[in-house]
Structure 1
Amino acid sequence: MRIALVTDAWTPQRNGVVRVLATLVGSLGDLGHVVRVIEPSAFTTIACPSYPEIPLALLPRRRVARMLDDFAPEAVHIATEGPLGWAARAWCLEHRLPFTTAYHTKFPEYISTRTGVPVSWPYALMRRFHGPAAAVLCPSPSVHRELRQKGFANATPWSHGVDTQVFCPGPKDFLDLPRPVFIYVGRVAVEKNLPAFLSLDLPGSKVVVGDGPARAGLMKRFPKAHFRIVNGDEELGRAFRAADVFVFPSRTDTFGLVMLEALASGVPVAAFPVTGPLDVIGGAPVGVLDEDLRAAALRALTIPPADCRRHAQRFSWSRVTAEFLSHLRPFTRRAQAG
């Protein structure tokens, strides 16, 4: 099948959405599907406000239309709600073609946190964007339930997976720091709620691996914490497995792929009992979910690494890819021409 995947988030950005989409594209290719990724590097871009490392395509509608016309897809998936997503949505509606979308990020909560506008306003915009889609793929059961409650009648569950070859147990020599090592890996931004982790009174060392707009400020505010940036999957895998506990302080993530990557590395998780951790950990004895994040982190130290690894191996990419394909709405070339 010829699949057009339209996304405003793509490499070299480093985040869970990009990792999911890049892995998905590779898996689809292995199955013989032809995937055309329409992403920001093919367009004139401007920096996203408050996220300068994220490029946004400038007035992309005509070029997106040409690219889709030239590719002649048999299915269209729109992964993000940015300028490219809106442009692809317009093309599909103009040609009366079905398409699917995804809800990877809680933009309404992020926008409300950053601007102070009522969260209902951006949710109204999200309902407008996703309303015509044949299905809105949700990365977790919790997000699916939340969107259904907020009027997204077309919300559909879609599981996520983890690369258990990149993320696996091994030597803990990447970090030469006093133990136990409590680590966070991911974007360093306000919505990740990192002060909730960095302000904890914990033994050993606290480590933050990643970059983002809040990094410089957090380094000044928490000088005793250790901040690292890694290059490539090999270093990333070594950073994960070097930890004793993965602390995930976010309250707004839709899933939290990094928790699966930690578990696959044999590292237990400490988090708040909210959307994301509840879906990845749930009641499994591979992490501790508690409103007292310090207590959760200390209790997680007793969890056997082998249990974490076995839990992560349940989230296979073959299942993720099969579910994605089942949710697509293929159309014929004849329908497109009409």
Structure 2
Amino acid sequence: MGLKIAFITDAWHPQINGVVTTIENTCRTLQNQGADVLLITPDQFTTIPCPSYPSIKLSIFCYSKVKQLLDAFAPDHIHIATEGPLGLATRKYCLQYRLAFTTSFHTLFAEYINLRTGVPVAWGYRFLHWFHKPASQIMIATAQVELNLVSSGFDKNKFVRWSRGVDVNRFRPRDKNFISYRRPISMYVGRVAIEKNLEAFLGLHVSGTKIVVGDGPQLQKLKKQFPGVVFTGFQTGELLAKTMAAADVFVFPSRTDTFGIVMLDALACGVPVAAYPVQGPIDVLINNQTGCMREDLKAAFYGALALNSDDCRQQALDYSWQNCSAQFLNNLVPVLSITR
């Protein structure tokens, strides 16, 4: 029997995003290496759609089942990936039974809630402080995220690094002729949601064709607002890899992502990235080599268009799910149960 790891996440299918991708690939890699991983996800519970974002499923009345699953599994390590209902239930369980656990910080929760509901950002951070405070360690992806969280009052000593990976065998340079639209082709892949700041990309006056790959609550609105843009809907697997590799520039307009794993996918395809010089891109891209970061996104687009595809691919090769999973494993703490 391998090491027993309980991994709890509110972010799960049908969501397609960097958090789900990271969790899936980390857990799969750990299982392939012999770990016994218990994934506790919303599809095991009664759920309701998240207001304003129905593809996010919120688990309800979940504590008793979480307790039952954890009691039966008796994990050596417990990791809480998200601050949603399942994360809250597991946090309660760990505190009740005096078990050590780790958490991770994936999204700018306070800022997203503010964008969607108007709840003050300060209130969101008050909740985040409360949620993460009992954790033995808090896993974050980048130095910039750490700086931002420390500046908001988090304890610097609790932060440990959990980076991200990319499947460089799937995401690789391919035939540009897979897409026949007028070039240059600028592309965004990800959630079509307010926090992704897509209007900043779609409103650019640049040559060629803009393509948006993904779905989300803003899709219908943006389709009407930008009729000249090609919206493909969600894509996965080989189709997604071929589509991304056919782009000339990947545009990442978000100002709120903590990493932006899709940028690694683009780089692995040999596609340079245009982005703002903010948290996420700053930590991922080599400015003026694998990406162009400017406050003027149009200038960033044309700067990225001139970059070398081979440099992009080379940088992506430094990221792997094996390294990512090894970091995660090293960050875990024993549950150190005092009473059970």
TM-score, scaled relative to structure 2: 0.96
Whether 1:259 and 2:278 are equivalent positions in the alignment is: no
Question: Secondary structure of the equivalent of 2:330?
Answer: helix
What displacement does 1:230 show?
A: 4.2
Name the residue aligned to 1:236.
240
Take 1:264 and 1:284, find their aligned partners in 2: how far apart are those partners? 17
What displacement does 1:173 show?
A: 3.0
Name the residue aligned to 1:286.
290
Matched length:
336
Name the residue aligned to 1:179.
183
Take 2:102 and 2:189, find their aligned partners in 1: how far apart are those partners? 30
In the TM superposition, what whole-angstrom CA distance separates every residue of 1:144-171 from its partner, at most 9, and x where no partner exists? Answer: 1111221221222221111111211111
Matching residue's letter, 1:132: P
Whether 1:305 and 2:318 are equivalent positions in the alignment is: no
Name the residue aligned to 2:36.
34
In the TM superposition, what whole-angstrom CA distance separates every residue of 1:58-83 from its partner, at most 9, and x where no partner exists? Answer: 12111101110011111000000000
Take 1:246 and 1:231, find their aligned partners in 2: how far apart are those partners? 16
Matches within 5 A, 1:44-55: 44-55=46-57
Matches within 5 A, 1:94-105: 94-105=96-107
Take 2:19 and 2:177, find their aligned partners in 1: how far apart are those partners? 29
Name the residue aligned to 2:327.
323
Name the residue aligned to 1:142.
144
Identify the range of structure 1 (233-242 vs 168-177) with the bigger mean alpha-carbon deviation.
168-177
What displacement does 1:116 show?
A: 2.2
Whether 1:83 and 2:85 are equivalent positions in the alignment is: yes
Take 1:50 and 1:229, find their aligned partners in 2: how far apart are those partners? 19
Uncovered stretches (5+) of structure 2, i.e. residues with no partner: none
Name the residue aligned to 2:76.
74
Q: Is the 8 Å Cα contact of residues 250 and 266 (structure 2) preserved in structure 1? A: yes
Whether 1:225 and 2:229 are equivalent positions in the alignment is: yes
Uncovered stretches (5+) of structure 1, i.e. residues with no partner: none
Of 157, 166, 170, 2:170 maps to 166
Matching residue's letter, 1:115: T
Identify the range of structure 1 (173-182 vs 204-213) with the bigger mean alpha-carbon deviation.
173-182
Matching residue's letter, 2:213: V
Name the residue aligned to 1:199.
203
Matching residue's letter, 1:127: H
Matching residue's letter, 2:195: E
Q: Is the 8 Å Cα contact of residues 45 and 58 (structure 1) preserved in structure 2? A: yes
Q: Is the 8 Å Cα contact of residues 78 and 335 (structure 2) preserved in structure 1? A: no
Name the residue aligned to 1:17.
19
What displacement does 1:336 show?
A: 6.0
Name the residue aligned to 1:296.
300
Q: Is the 8 Å Cα contact of residues 288 and 299 (structure 1) preserved in structure 2? A: yes
Matching residue's letter, 1:236: L
Q: Is the 8 Å Cα contact of residues 76 and 335 (structure 2) preserved in structure 1? A: yes
Q: Is the 8 Å Cα contact of residues 240 and 265 (structure 1) preserved in structure 2? A: yes
What displacement does 1:13 show?
A: 1.6
Take 1:173 and 1:8, find their aligned partners in 2: how far apart are those partners? 39
Percent of aligned positions that are identical: 49
Take 1:283 and 1:210, find their aligned partners in 2: how far apart are those partners? 26
Take 2:307 and 2:237, find their aligned partners in 1: how far apart are those partners? 25
Identify the range of structure 1 (266-275 vs 155-164) with the bigger mean alpha-carbon deviation.
155-164
Take 2:22 and 2:142, find their aligned partners in 1: how far apart are those partners? 13
Matching residue's letter, 2:112: Y
In the TM superposition, what whole-angstrom CA distance separates every residue of 1:110-133 from its partner, at most 9, and x where no partner exists? Answer: 111222232111000011000000
What displacement does 1:12 show?
A: 2.6
Q: Is the 8 Å Cα contact of residues 172 and 241 (structure 2) preserved in structure 1? A: yes
Whether 1:121 and 2:120 are equivalent positions in the alignment is: no
Q: Is the 8 Å Cα contact of residues 8 and 82 (structure 2) preserved in structure 1? A: yes
Take 1:102 and 1:230, find their aligned partners in 2: how far apart are those partners? 26
Take 2:70 and 2:119, find their aligned partners in 1: how far apart are those partners? 35
Q: Is the 8 Å Cα contact of residues 273 and 290 (structure 1) preserved in structure 2? A: yes
Matching residue's letter, 1:183: M
In the TM superposition, what whole-angstrom CA distance separates every residue of 1:170-214 from its partner, at most 9, and x where no partner exists? Answer: 112332200000000000000000000000001010010000000
What displacement does 1:282 show?
A: 4.1
Take 2:73 and 2:153, find their aligned partners in 1: how far apart are those partners? 34
Take 1:287 and 1:43, find their aligned partners in 2: how far apart are those partners? 42
Take 1:281 and 1:101, find their aligned partners in 2: how far apart are those partners? 26
Q: Is the 8 Å Cα contact of residues 6 and 40 (structure 2) preserved in structure 1? A: yes
C-alpha RMSD of the superposition? 1.2
